[in-house]
Structure 1
């Protein structure tokens, strides 16, 4: 079936990137398979991460179907777009339904996008990974495609105002070689291996970022261990627990 909505949305996003003056550094797109299913897995630091993860798949002429919380599909603007682009709603009360939809899409040759941290990391460091992405890849018999992005948090993230004007922010994306499960490997082991690989890619993206930590000392968008003022992972977790 022809894709009537997704390509125009991508074209609109690219136009907006040009208007905003975003500067991209993208590496590893050759790892995105040109055909067949895969589970694309990324860190999660902003509300716009799915847009940039999808951008990394475009050189391979692939469209990524993201798993996103069901509330996004209820919005009067984003809802119709998300459904038309065949993204997959995730209702916490009906998680099995979303899993089955993702599994069918993978078996039909789609790339499914997953943020295994589940929510945005306020510390901008990796949180623990849920095992759903690994289980999907194993059951569908497809590879995991690790990815990391950096700089997107400067545009729009939790607890900070949106900065969607012409700010010329650098955005760094790194895609790694596909991972497959070893014989008899369980989902927990594969998930930990996947997390380690995403961590490596994240560090690579941070090291390549043109705004160096020493030039951004005290910046809110930098993790504490890099000299920024973002909360530590422990403080972010405590803050989240306090709001529960």
Structure 2
């Protein structure tokens, strides 16, 4: 009930009025069954506009901080995320990360449409960063397609650190589903999962037109937060080459 109120009566009409969101490629979203929507991540607003513009209900594995905010803004975010079925997850440890993956696989096997940000966090500067392999693990274990999604304009409407959103046209472009059935039974193989994740990020790079950075966004944010005198180089594990062609 709260989902319908938020999407069609309360928040949804207001967002459509102020931001005039448009979507193309809806035909690539299956009418039923489990699938992953793998999107670039420019702003918190991404998680508002994507569910708003799709006919199917989208579930995100949202970081639990989105559910703990205070004041009107915190209430609005918490109500929206809860109302549309978002699932808060703890990302503070390896065990918590595994629990989040297990939750994602369960939802996909139930036939849900699961929204994921492979970069793991918002882009610090509008560029596209290296994807984490959790998206590949979930796709393989649940046996579902991955649908690349490009968000445009959300970083202008909701800049990092902004407390008030600014009216700005939002555009969403949905790409063709990626089928990884050829890797069936190989969940847990880190080389296969890295290959799949790189293929997904390549598709996102093509779809968004963003400059690709072969580093993890979280690592870049950590380095930006360090005093210059103690900054250190990113580890070699972050320096894999960006794929030049699609796998398979």
TM-score using structure 1 length: 0.76
1:187 corresponds to 2:193 = yes
Name the CA shift for 1:142/1:235 in 2 (closer, same or farther; >3 Å).
closer
Secondary structure of 1:170's counterpart equals coil
Name the CA shift for 1:26/1:73 in 2 (closer, same or farther; >3 Å).
same
Mapped to 1, the partners of 2:100 and 2:218 lie a distance apart of 28
Q: 1:68 aligns with which of 62, 71, 95?
A: 62
Offset, 1:82: 3.0
Secondary structure of 1:183's counterpart equals helix
Mapped to 2, the partners of 1:13 and 1:240 lie a distance apart of 34
* Off by >6 Å, runs of 4+ in structure 1: 233-237
Worse-superposed segment, 83-92 or 46-55: 83-92
Q: What residue is the counterpart of 2:134 in the other structure?
A: 132
Secondary structure of 2:129's counterpart equals coil
Name the CA shift for 1:100/1:117 in 2 (closer, same or farther; >3 Å).
same
Q: What residue is the counterpart of 2:234 in the other structure?
A: none
Offset, 1:235: 11
CA RMSD of aligned residues (A): 2.6
Name the CA shift for 1:145/1:235 in 2 (closer, same or farther; >3 Å).
closer
Offset, 1:52: 1.5
Tell me how many residue pairs correspond in the alignment: 208
Secondary structure of 2:4's counterpart equals helix
Contact 2:130–2:217 under 8 Å retained in 1? no
- For residues 151-178 of structure 1, the C-alpha deviation after alignment (integer angstroms, 9 at most, x for no partner) is 11111121445334xx3x2211100111
Mapped to 1, the partners of 2:162 and 2:156 lie a distance apart of 9
Q: What residue is the counterpart of 1:157 in the other structure?
A: 159
Name the CA shift for 1:71/1:234 in 2 (closer, same or farther; >3 Å).
closer
Offset, 1:242: 3.7
Q: What residue is the counterpart of 1:88 in the other structure?
A: 87
Q: What residue is the counterpart of 1:30 in the other structure?
A: 27
TM-score using structure 2 length: 0.75
Contact 1:88–1:98 under 8 Å retained in 2? no
Q: What residue is the counterpart of 2:170 in the other structure?
A: 171
Worse-superposed segment, 98-107 or 85-94: 85-94
Q: How does 1:1-244 map to 2 (within 5 A)?
A: 4-11=1-8, 12-20=10-18, 22-58=19-55, 62-75=56-69, 77=75, 78-79=77-78, 81-92=80-91, 93=93, 94-160=96-162, 162-164=164-166, 167=167, 169-184=168-183, 186-203=192-209, 240-243=222-225
- What are the ranges of 5 or more consecutive residues in structure 1 without an aligned counterpart? 207-222, 226-232
